[in-house]
Amino acid sequence: MKSSELHKLRVAVVGAGYGGAATAKALSLLGAQVDVYEQASRISEVGAGIGLRPATVARFHEWGIFEAIAKVSSPSDHFEILSATGERIMQETWPAHGEYTKTHLIHRGDFIDALLGVLPAGMVKLGHKLKGIRDDGDRAVLAFTNSTTVEADLVVGADGIKSVVREELFSDAGPVFSGEHAYRAVISVDDARGMVTDDNLRMYIGRGTKIYLLPLRHRNQVSFDITALCPDGTWAPQVTMADVLATVQGFDERLVEITRGLDLSTVNCRAVYDIDSIGTWHSDSVVLVGDAAHSMLHHQGQGANSAILDAGALADALREADSVPEALALYQSVRKPVTDELQRISRQGWTEEEIDDVFPGQRPAAASQE
15-54: pLDDT as tens digits? 999 999 999 999 999 999 999 999 999 887 666 899 999 9
Give CA–CA dist 188/256, Å, rounded.
16
Element (H, E) at 62: helix 54-63
Residues 6+ away with beta carbon under 8 Å from 163: 157, 288, 291, 292
Q: Which CATH fold would you assign to the domain 176-274+349-358?
A: D-Amino Acid Oxidase; Chain A, domain 2 (3.30.9)
pLDDT band at 369 (very low <50, low <70, confident <90, very high): very low
Give CA–CA dist 178/157, Å, rounded.
24
pLDDT digits (tens, 9 = 90+) for 289-307: 999 999 999 988 899 999 9
In the chain, what percentage of residues exceed pLDDT 90? 90
pLDDT digits (tens, 9 = 90+) for 330-367: 999 999 999 999 999 999 865 555 555 554 544 444 44
Question: Can you give the residue ranges of every domain in the chain?
Answer: 3-74+104-175+276-346, 176-274+349-358
Same-fold call for 3-74+104-175+276-346 versus 176-274+349-358: no
Burial class (CB in 10 A: 0-12, 13-18, 19+), 168: middle
Residues 113-132, mean pLDDT to the nearest whole number: 96
Q: Is the pLDDT of residue 246 over 50?
A: yes
The mean pLDDT of the chain is: 93
Distance of CA 79 to the CA centre of its chain: 19
Q: What is the pTM of this model?
A: 0.93
CATH number of 3-74+104-175+276-346: 3.50.50.60
Whether the CB-CB separation of 280 and 332 falls below 8 Å is answered with yes
Whether the CB-CB separation of 111 and 218 falls below 8 Å is answered with no
Burial class (CB in 10 A: 0-12, 13-18, 19+), 197: exposed
Give CA–CA dist 170/20, Å, rounded.
18
